[in-house]
Structure 1
Amino acid sequence: MNILNISSIIPLKGLKRENDIILRIQDYLKDNYGYDFTIAMSLPYVPFILSLINDKWKKYRDYQHKRQLKVQGHDTVIYPWLLPPTSNFWLNYFLIPVNWVWYIFVVQKKIFQEAKNADLLLTQNLIPDAILAYWLHKKYDTPYIINIRGKSEKYWYKLPVLRSVIKNASQVITHSPTNYQLFKDDYEIELVPHPVDDIFYFDGNNEYSYPKLISVCRLLSLKNIDKVIYALSKLKKQGQNFEYCIVGDGPRMKSLKELVIELGLVNEVSFEGYLSREKVAAQLKDSNVFIMPSNPETLGRAFLEAAASGCLIIGHQNTGVDGLFTHQESAIFVNEDTVYKGLKTVFENLNTMSNYREKSQKIVKNLKWDKIGSIYDDIFTKSYNQ
């Protein structure tokens, strides 16, 4: 089966680092089930004059001129879309009629061969991915699957055009427990979390004599790592001992390091920067509490990897893995104002929360590659045969 994966979140050299999980899932399904994938990736259209102003826009234009390239070994066709320099939903929505004309005169020519040869379309975002899939479906009668990623609202799919986009999809899936809870009463939607690599599963016993915390994430404001640092400062003043390892890089790195110095936590908090998957696995197995109170968070694969490694999970309520894990059963969920309270509870009860860790670890044992691969195979087969 030939699948055209219409995705605007593929990692491209020289642009913002994107998660490569989509490509890794493709690799697994190709190797184990024989699917053939081609990627159609959108980039904002950049006229020549704008490419002289901004390095990122210049890179967009350079990629668009290539049209076809290999991304980590995957055949990828680049097509331009008329997008504003913002992710604002309404701006992108009101540009749909303009992009329809753009599609007719520009985009169709760019992806004609790939679209014509596809047996199934798989989309990874609403705009432009699912929009393009819907238009290709109308032209070629090719079935398409919508994967609802990112922060979404139910009313979006009741708007003109978008109502037809979701109505005509052969299946709707999401890797996000938040989106699943949001849409499950209105649409037939299947939750398919990201698979967890074998290297993260740990059957040994973590050291729980004192808290060894870890966060693995891009250092962005929405991750709320500063809230964790402030909470830990208060706990240190109360005589609590702990270690806190921050893995990842990002625009907040400098300010977070300055905050650690300001609060006198240089002996407790370490910054490891970006690490390979293997080194992250080793760090997780040397920790016992994973904390990432990010909001919003569509899933957070690091939560799953940390649970597989035997860490107690602390996340943000009503987002991320809340819904896959349960508060005070398999995880602790807090908000921006209760990070300190949540950490204090964990610090005081770390040795008695083994049942939380066991339950979350049991949940992620069902997320190994073979099980998630089988789910995707069933979804693709069902969609193709409809």
Structure 2
Amino acid sequence: MSKKKKIGLVLAATPAYSETFFNSKIKGLQEAGHKVVLFVNSKNTSHLDIEIVKAPELANNKVKNIVLSLFILLKLLLLNFASVKKNYQLDKEDGLSFKKRVQSLIINSHILKYKLDWLHFGFGTLALNRENVAQAIGAKMAVSFRGFDHYVYPVKNLNCYTILFKKEVKYHVLSDGMKKDLILEGIDEKQVVKITPAIDLSLFKIAEERKKERNRIVTIARLHWIKGLEYTLQALALVKQKGINFEYCIIGEGVDQERLKFAVYQLNLQENVFFLGKLNPMEVKEELSKSSIYLQYSLQEGFCNAVLEAQAMELLCIVSDAEGLSENILDEETGFVVKKRKPEAFARVIVQTINFSDVEKKVITAAAKNRVNEVFSVEKQIQSFLSFYK
């Protein structure tokens, strides 16, 4: 029997109930006998039975900030001198200034006092300025890349992962594309493990008596440019021009809501497009159960749980070729993959799926549902993470 481990998971905030990826992972590790400690910057009410450790919160007042920082450092030096010294020395070897070395000790003080077998950063960006913390406390280091942190953040912050990629790290990624990218960065293939998202299949079952509305279309997404919603609306305007009536519901909130609503107005889609806002998981399931087509025309996407959920709920899925989506959907087998930023091509596929016979739809939705059941179950994901930490 393998040794039970103490695993530290670093996240920005306590996982919400809807964040099934982290929730299922934590519960699976706990059920296998491992101890999980959650390190967060923002501590919210949690439904998890887990130790949650919040990062130090500094004051806005400069004088208070200095006093509080000195108190944190003094306490850390008295109680955890070995890990403090090690982290400081490693940061110095990496060329960090004295100021940044001290800042590193302060912002990581809540982690440096722990003894762990593994320290796992839930997103690549969370490992920045913490590249040496795992080694300082004698733990193995793991980092997950999920999408934005891998594809977008480095574009805006060039060379941000230079120090990280020099460290001894085991990486978790969502897709083969991400794995290839890390190997190109010089990381040993053996240190990169693909574990795709998963869903609780018991939650996403459609009642046999439920009749789907033929031309009801849905998307679950943040209202953000990266989700390609403006291209989706342009494609749907072309569908409407062909005399096809439909209802398109967008589930989610975000900074681009006003811009997207204006696009709806300009594209003459006011009678077709509905913004439903943020919904709870049961409300999302209800919307999926009424719909027949799911669209995810993102410009960038790590993998997308919502597409898995839509397939499980027997919707015809049409997605862009953005990163993990082309692994989530097998083109023309379990759905359709269309090149991003091509609204005309996207519209053609939407029209094609609307005009499918019931038999043609059933062939694809059944293949999609079967693949989700076989490949993307929570149980399989948990077993993959148990192997990851061996």
Shorter-chain TM-score bucket reads 0.7 to 0.9
Q: Taking structure 1 as reference, are residues 337 and 273 closer, same or farther at Cα in structure 2, changes over 3 Å only?
A: same
Find the counterpart in structure 2 of residue 113 from structure 1.
113
Find the counterpart in structure 1 of residue 230 from structure 2.
226
Find the counterpart in structure 2 of residue 360 from structure 1.
368
Q: CA deviation at 1:194?
A: 1.9
Code of the residue aligned with 1:126 in structure 2: it is: G
Residues 1:136 and 2:133 are matched in the alignment: yes
Q: Distance in 2 between matches of 1:184 and 1:363?
A: 28
- Name the Cα RMSD after superposition: 3.4
Q: Distance in 2 between matches of 1:337 and 1:109?
A: 45
Residues 1:199 and 2:203 are matched in the alignment: yes
Residue 146 (structure 1) aligned to one of 143, 153, 156: 143
- Output one character per residue of 1:266-316: Cα deviation in whole Å (capped at 9) or x when no partner: 332222111110111111121121101111111221111111111121112
Paired residues of 2:56 and 2:109 also in contact (CA < 8 A): no
Paired residues of 1:315 and 1:334 also in contact (CA < 8 A): yes
Q: Taking structure 1 as reference, are residues 362 and 36 closer, same or farther at Cα in structure 2, changes over 3 Å only?
A: same
Q: Taking structure 1 as reference, are residues 103 and 110 closer, same or farther at Cα in structure 2, changes over 3 Å only?
A: farther
Structure 2, gaps ≥5 residues long: 59-93
Q: Distance in 1 between matches of 2:29 and 2:173?
A: 21
Q: Distance in 2 between matches of 1:363 and 1:372?
A: 14
Code of the residue aligned with 2:112 in structure 1: it is: F
Paired residues of 1:206 and 1:287 also in contact (CA < 8 A): no
Find the counterpart in structure 2 of residue 253 from structure 1.
257
3-state DSSP of counterpart to 2:203: helix
Q: CA deviation at 1:201?
A: 3.3
3-state DSSP of counterpart to 2:133: helix
Paired residues of 1:11 and 1:18 also in contact (CA < 8 A): no
Find the counterpart in structure 2 of residue 39 from structure 1.
38
Q: Distance in 1 between matches of 2:222 and 2:275?
A: 12
Q: CA deviation at 1:80?
A: 7.0
3-state DSSP of counterpart to 1:215: strand
Q: Taking structure 1 as reference, are residues 41 and 102 closer, same or farther at Cα in structure 2, changes over 3 Å only?
A: farther
Q: TM-score, normalised by structure 2?
A: 0.74
3-state DSSP of counterpart to 1:245: strand
Q: Distance in 2 between matches of 1:130 and 1:71?
A: 26
Q: Distance in 1 between matches of 2:213 and 2:54?
A: 53
Specify the structure having the higher radius of gyration (Cα). Answer: 2
Paired residues of 2:213 and 2:291 also in contact (CA < 8 A): no
Q: Taking structure 1 as reference, are residues 376 and 236 closer, same or farther at Cα in structure 2, changes over 3 Å only?
A: same
Paired residues of 2:329 and 2:337 also in contact (CA < 8 A): no
Code of the residue aligned with 1:187 in structure 2: it is: E
Code of the residue aligned with 1:101 in structure 2: it is: R
Q: Distance in 1 between matches of 2:213 and 2:126?
A: 50
Q: In terms of mean alpha carbon deviation, does 154-163 or 363-372 score higher?
A: 154-163
Paired residues of 2:239 and 2:350 also in contact (CA < 8 A): no
Q: Distance in 1 between matches of 2:31 and 2:287?
A: 30
Task: Summarize the alignment of residues 171-320 of structure 1 with structure 2, pairs less than 5 Å apart.
Answer: 171-183=170-182, 187-188=189-190, 189-197=192-200, 198-202=202-206, 204=208, 210-320=214-324
Q: CA deviation at 1:30?
A: 4.8
- Output one character per residue of 1:56-97: Cα deviation in whole Å (capped at 9) or x when no partner: xxxxxxx6xxxx88655541221479xxxxxxxxxxxxx982
3-state DSSP of counterpart to 2:189: coil
Q: In terms of mean alpha carbon deviation, does 309-318 or 213-222 score higher?
A: 309-318
Identity of aligned residues (%): 17
Q: Taking structure 1 as reference, are residues 22 and 105 closer, same or farther at Cα in structure 2, changes over 3 Å only?
A: same
Q: In terms of mean alpha carbon deviation, does 101-110 or 271-280 score higher?
A: 101-110
- Output one character per residue of 1:15-38: Cα deviation in whole Å (capped at 9) or x when no partner: xx9973454135422552233222
Paired residues of 1:207 and 1:288 also in contact (CA < 8 A): no
Aligned residue pairs: how many?
A: 333
Q: Distance in 2 between matches of 1:177 and 1:108?
A: 32
Find the counterpart in structure 2 of residue 52 from structure 1.
none
Paired residues of 2:53 and 2:110 also in contact (CA < 8 A): no
- Output one character per residue of 1:127-177: Cα deviation in whole Å (capped at 9) or x when no partner: 442652x41333233112221223437998997523322xx12x3211245
Q: Distance in 1 between matches of 2:243 and 2:44?
A: 56
Q: Distance in 2 between matches of 1:208 and 1:251?
A: 31
Paired residues of 1:232 and 1:340 also in contact (CA < 8 A): no
Q: Distance in 2 between matches of 1:158 and 1:247?
A: 33
Q: CA deviation at 1:202?
A: 3.5
Q: Taking structure 1 as reference, are residues 292 and 172 closer, same or farther at Cα in structure 2, changes over 3 Å only?
A: same
Find the counterpart in structure 2 of residue 340 from structure 1.
344
Query: Moved runs in structure 1, 4+ residues, more than 4 A?
Result: 68-74, 153-160, 203-209
Q: Taking structure 1 as reference, are residues 159 and 20 closer, same or farther at Cα in structure 2, changes over 3 Å only?
A: closer
Paired residues of 1:178 and 1:298 also in contact (CA < 8 A): no
Structure 1, gaps ≥5 residues long: 43-62, 82-94
Paired residues of 1:215 and 1:292 also in contact (CA < 8 A): yes
Q: Taking structure 1 as reference, are residues 214 and 159 closer, same or farther at Cα in structure 2, changes over 3 Å only?
A: closer
Find the counterpart in structure 2 of residue 50 from structure 1.
none
